[in-house]
Chain A
């Protein structure tokens, strides 16, 4: 499974001194661990499938399916050419939700931990509780990954990182999903041990 590079940094190297040294390998592709993308088209297909998965969670795929082929292309071209406004012109629609709701149907998220074998946690989770209260990041973690939540009074053992920052656990999940999602529309959350120094 391919991880976005920002996620890899948060997950594996956030405590390392910058600049981040990257070794690029040209042979011995780890076929067992990673899906080998033979061409640019395959990467595009992979990216688009992530987007579709996210929209399936958010809008039962309604938004992405209503888009035209050229809109899909524009999403990819915008990302590829580093043209934010081109990308966002389309992606914006994926970030909308019906006015009568308080958020998406489910929040597309993945929680990554370095301490477990499991590649990531992904479950169905709604942004709004049954009583209408907005779910927060803390609610999500308590529900799907309780081990990551530090006890109230105890020592802080874990960091919950998104985009290199630690949002407060009181942050509404819906807001995070709208504003801190990666281009593939997923909220990639890393849980890493608190540095000991």
Chain B
């Protein structure tokens, strides 16, 4: 209670959080100095790609993170506990540990987590009777002892709750006091007198800081800050279990909802599923309260096994029976949602085992490990329309930020990343294994020994004789290890952990190494006196003969060819698509993963982390071989094929890496006939041929030039415009021509834009869209405007957006607005306002309020490659009044014949002459903006509007 804002103190702040303003004690818990927004937006802007981490749990419950900037899995800083589930966000990670308890790991950062505790000290004036005056006079001091009927001497802000200072306890062991209690000498933004007392006539009243003659009561506020101290460690969340009932431990957990609302800062939705299939929601989780306050139970139509909460309003769960449950009605004011609906699995034989949702995607894994993508998900239809089967077999998938997808391969237990997931292609292109090694693997030998141990299977030349002893040890410990189940004597090197882990993973892991090892051991007879467990690195033989790995019987062949996904793929990519050679599939000694969470991992399609290539100098194809040595009877031919393929790749590809990609570099031309306003003699529209040449550089950047060919005095001439110089493309409404203008800084200065006109509106829209896209491409502007974008409208109601420089710093010489690049958004507004968080509202000419929904394109951009989601119809009405002007003439009466100045039809402003028909009202079809009814209307009407 004591932490709430003090409603009685001071006028409501008109400044939003994070703005500079007078120090308002009631603004929020944190003093403004420490409020995160002051240091810039807390969430990274979409354009930048800061380091973020992918969380994963291996088969042994150890939690690892992989940074987008790193190449190694790092063991979680707090590795005391073993986990079975983790669900990450940028600022924290929730997990269920092996003890079935829930833990939260709050990442360390510069922003402290502080909360203010408040308590009020209340006093009443000691009333004295003046004998002479015979009346009550409040002249005495204030006394500390209050009457029984009065309020508590120490209370919360309402005065109704008793709240002594020493009774205010820390909510959990993860908090510590920052300082002792002190008196707040700040009242409504102004300093009080020493002591911080505020006065009033009586309790429940309005307090003032001045003491008046009739001030009978006074109170003052005591403040103490507590700080969350358990950062970078797993902090246990108190169990929900009622000691009187049987325990029902948690089984699954998912964190999301950070995009639903930003109030309070860092708010999260934490959902959990218990073993009995019940769904629980953690109340009040936010930046300043990372642990939340309590678990509340939600009704479900069946027993839930697994749950997934997206960053926004998507929440899916799976039922024991294999259907999916979809939560409906989640929104800003109701993050828990209101009802469930059921989605049937893709097939009746195999129910859904696992779902994972993003902002607008749903992925699922069925009980036969098949991966499915849900089609038709959007904010109005959280259930989607149908399932699409994806390639690959996974034990689980996880959708992270940006709707990027990770999965854990069913065969090899590797973490896969879905490549090519973009807003326009949410299902991505292909699974790619993350081959990053663990930090611990790297550290235990001079070279990347896990890779070398892979190499040892493929012949002596890879290992060479000069390899360092530790890596040899590593290799032999792997090959010579006794079968699974047998314990190893203490290994001399610190790779023992590694070896143990391999032996513990046992059969059925589907990894060739393991199988080879198992087969190898009994058939070892021919090998020369090599002890099963050698005492130390010194005795390690320098070479393993190639035949050691060839003990596998060829009977495996059929199953191998049917094995499918990762294994066969890698192999055959050798044969069919030589380019696939760079794709290493799984390092031999790779960790086996159980769970992955990408909720805190920001990967953008344009900048994929370096997780997919092996860092050591080993040729990557060697690793592929490790997966493909199934029928290994005749290794010579096999060895030679891979060796030759590697050499061929080097010969045919690597030497030409620096060559520009021929296919990527394209010149693309669109030509057409337009009219061009000739600004010199004869000052009229002239027919021109135009050609847009678009070329792609080897770095993928596109640039375009617009040529305008015209004939003057029978002489052919042309002008050209580099589209990367164009700052604005503006449609010019004109009743006779469908025209538009191109501005460059130079042409704006000369007041001489290039004006072009098309024969039809469609034609104009096509050109406008194409030119606009080309301009955006050459300036690398794509997707929706960033939250920092600057919005403006023209006098005609067209909406334009400009992106400020990414660092948001004011330049020494700020760019004048006529040199900024403005791109048009579909839509039509009279006024537009935006805030720094990307909320954009506008008012149409018919006084309707509109809110920007995050789509881009629309308007003339329909039908071109742009976002089709979040684009809706907008209608606007602009009334143009036309006055019929007639002059009275004594001879003819009123006549419309023209006189000196006024045209016979005129608009409401001295604009050009209007022809009579059609202009009474002008309806413009616009998109990109959704109509938001005024707040007083019910939301159903807003929806019916949307349905249209």
Contact = CB atoms under 8 A, between A and B. Distances in A.
A92 B564 contact: yes
Interface string A105-121: 00000000000000000
Given A86-B391, A170-B637, A171-B641, A92 B568 contact: yes
Contact of A19 (B573, B578, B637, B659): B659
Contacts of A61: none
A64 to B, nearest CB: 17
A84 B648 CA distance: 20
B577 interface: yes
B562 A96 contact: yes
A47 interface: no
Nearest to A178: B561
Interface stretch (B21-29, B327-335, B650-658, B863-871): B650-658
A180 B575 contact: yes
Interface string A88-102: 110110011101001
A84 B659 contact: no
Nearest to B569: A88
A84 B558 contact: no
A84 B631 CA distance: 24
B577 A18 contact: no
Contact-residue bracket for chain B: 35 or more
A91 B573 CA distance: 12
A139 to B, nearest CB: 13
A106 B651 CA distance: 33
Contact of A18 (B572, B644, B652): B652
A84 B577 contact: yes
Contact of A89 (B391, B644, B645): B391
Contacts of A89: 391
B575 A166 contact: no
Interface string B570-589: 01111111101000000000
A83 to B, nearest CB: 6
Interface in B324-348: none
Contact of B656 (A19, A83, A96, A167): A19
Given A92-B568, A97-B561, A170-B637, A179 B391 contact: no
A17 B652 CA distance: 10
Contacts of A172: 634, 637
B648 A164 contact: yes
A84 B659 CA distance: 23
B845 to A, nearest CB: 45
A183 interface: yes
B67 to A, nearest CB: 27
Given A84-B580, A170-B634, A179 B575 contact: yes
B854 interface: no
Interface string A170-197: 1110010011111100000000000000
A89 B577 CA distance: 15
A165 B641 contact: yes
Interface of B is mostly: helix
Nearest to A87: B576
Nearest to B430: A85
B42 interface: no
A166 B561 contact: no
Given A84-B430, A181-B575, A168 B640 contact: yes
Contacts of A171: 634, 637-638, 641
B667 interface: no
A85 B392 contact: yes
A180 B631 CA distance: 16
Contacts of A82: 577
Interface in B528-583: 557-558, 561-562, 564, 568-569, 571-578, 580
B562 A165 contact: no
B703 to A, nearest CB: 24
A161 B872 CA distance: 58
Contact-residue bracket for chain A: 20 to 34
B636 interface: yes
Contacts of A60: none
A166 B638 CA distance: 11
A167 B392 contact: no
A166 B580 contact: no
A192 B568 CA distance: 30
Contact of A99 (B391, B558, B568, B645): B558
A163 interface: yes
Nearest to A6: B578
B562 A168 contact: no
A179 B572 contact: yes
B455 to A, nearest CB: 20
A69 B648 CA distance: 37
Nearest to A182: B576
B406 interface: no
Given A95-B561, A178-B561, A163 B636 contact: no
A163 B577 CA distance: 10
Contacts of B391: 85-86, 88-89
Contacts of A165: 641, 644-645, 647-648
B152 interface: no
A6 B572 CA distance: 16
A102 B557 CA distance: 8
Given A84-B573, A85-B569, A183-B576, A167 B561 contact: no
A164 B574 CA distance: 12
B749 interface: no
Given A89-B391, A92-B568, A18 B651 contact: yes
A186 to B, nearest CB: 11
A172 B568 CA distance: 17
Contacts of A96: 558, 561-562
B578 A163 contact: yes
B620 to A, nearest CB: 16
Contacts of A97: 558, 561
17 contacts: A84-B576, A85-B429, A88-B569, A92-B562, A95-B572, A97-B561, A102-B557, A163-B578, A163-B645, A163-B648, A167-B641, A167-B644, A168-B637, A170-B637, A171-B638, A172-B634, A179-B575
What 10 A-B pairs have minimum CB-CB distances, sorted nearest first? A165-B644, A168-B637, A180-B575, A171-B637, A89-B391, A85-B391, A85-B430, A179-B575, A99-B558, A164-B648
Given A84-B577, A92-B564, A182-B576, 16 more contacts: A84-B573, A84-B576, A86-B391, A88-B572, A96-B558, A96-B562, A102-B557, A164-B648, A164-B652, A165-B645, A165-B647, A167-B644, A170-B634, A170-B637, A172-B634, A179-B572
